[in-house]
Amino acid sequence: MRGAAIERTTTVVIGAGHAGLAASHFLSDRSIDHIVLERGEVANSWRRERWDSLRLLTPNWQSRLPGLRYEGPDPDGYMTVGEVTEFIERFAAASRAPVRTGVNVTSVRRADDGYQVTTASGDIRCQAVVIASGACNQPSVPQFRDGVPASVEQLTTFDYRDPAKLPDGGVLVVGASATGVQLAAELQRSGRPVTLSVGEHVRLPRTYRGRDVLWWMDASGLWDQRYDEVDDLTRARRLPSPQLVGTPERTTLDLNALTSMGVELVGRWAAVRDGRALFSGGLRNVFSLADLKLGRLLDTFDEWAGTHGPDGEADPPERFAPTRVPSSARLQLDLASGEIRAIVWATGFRPDYGWLDVPAVDAKGQLRHEGGVVADSPGLYALGLPVLRRRKSTFIYGIEDDAREVIGHLAGYLAGRR
């Protein structure tokens, strides 16, 4: 019997989402020999892990990758999931990324001269590895879900596709960030009475002074802020996604909009006791904090507009009505009463490094890294994580600068070994 030969390459990139493909683009630019391993297909997360009605919350003009930008007729529109998939596929083709699909990486460990990457189709030895396997591999759901009565159907955002998948009757959506507010609105529109459990959140209007709010984030330089300039990096990396939806009408989807649609707001879900969901009080404080932060952000935009920006061209500054506090928010809900037939957990995501046999993951399951350079592991890099090098790091348009710099570091590391 012949032993399987170990393949060798200089760099292995794990994941063919936009981050892994951007890494490949800059590796090719520098003529660094590499392969991209993808367990599914190119843009796998967009194909398998998103719901049907999802559109990007970033406008089309912001959909840009190294050497590729949106050139269609609707720069202010928002791509559907199918269009994002097609956009990323186009990027893979244009940059001739050496992607191997259907190859699951089951282990990465140190080997004498670098790393050994194990897959079902064999082992690969390399000098450097770029982890671009995504920041949102698994839904993050609190443990107390186990206490929910079996009569209530539970879904994560990975299971949810459209309202028809849910039984008729009341739905409790947990989490009021981008995903939670979008699903609450969709389910309420489907005729199901929705209760939304709200914790800390980021409130944003869709447009401000006549322009997309993300235009202001971009133009004022806020999303370009670097990780080493951010005051509280740990907090910035945990910040929930903003309450935004991409619709042709450019509608704002904040809590006031949901209340007007008939969605009932309750506090943060804290525990389950005897089949009852217990919610925190203090919604007023949670709302005022989000309103306060929104006000501060708009002040920043106005200041910037006054000194550098288009003050004369933009509409005048505006301020938004405070979030309306329900007159008596319920503090508990009997989950066995039949009022709630389904729960949708929109409580965020976490990465999965179960395959990483290098001691680089902290107790909270996050990779320890400095701007994408993994701690104490020479030659190991990461891309696509929150505020990796800039506030915009996880966004499609944020990858170009990060990938250029991370691959620049990697090239320096390889040169130093020679």
What is the binding site for ligand FAD (CB under 6 A)? Answer: 14-20, 37-40, 44-45, 50, 56-58, 104-105, 132-134, 136, 179, 349, 355, 384, 394-396
Burial zone of 395 (CB within 10 Å; 0-12 exposed, 13-18 middle, 19+ buried):
buried
Q: Which residue's CB is nearer to ligand FAD, number 41 or number 339? A: 41
Closest approach of ligand FAD to the CB of residue 56, in Å: 3
Closest approach of ligand FAD to the CB of residue 400, in Å: 12
Contact 155, 342 (CB under 8 A): yes
Closest approach of ligand FAD to the CB of residue 349, in Å: 6
N-term to C-term CA, the chain: 36
Q: Using CB atoms, what's the residue nearest to ligand FAD?
A: 17
Give the Å distances, CA to CA, from 261 to 157, 168, 234, 251, 335. 22, 18, 35, 13, 23
DSSP state of 241: P
DSSP state of 368: P
CA distance 32 to 9: 9
Contact 78, 247 (CB under 8 A): yes
Closest approach of ligand FAD to the CB of residue 387, in Å: 13
Closest approach of ligand FAD to the CB of residue 178, in Å: 7
- What is the number of other CB atoms lying within 10 angstroms of the CB of residue 319? 10
DSSP state of 69: E
Q: Which residue's CB is nearer to ligand FAD, number 188 or number 393? A: 393
Closest approach of ligand FAD to the CB of residue 189, in Å: 19
Nearest by Cα to 404 from 24, 18, 9, 133: 24
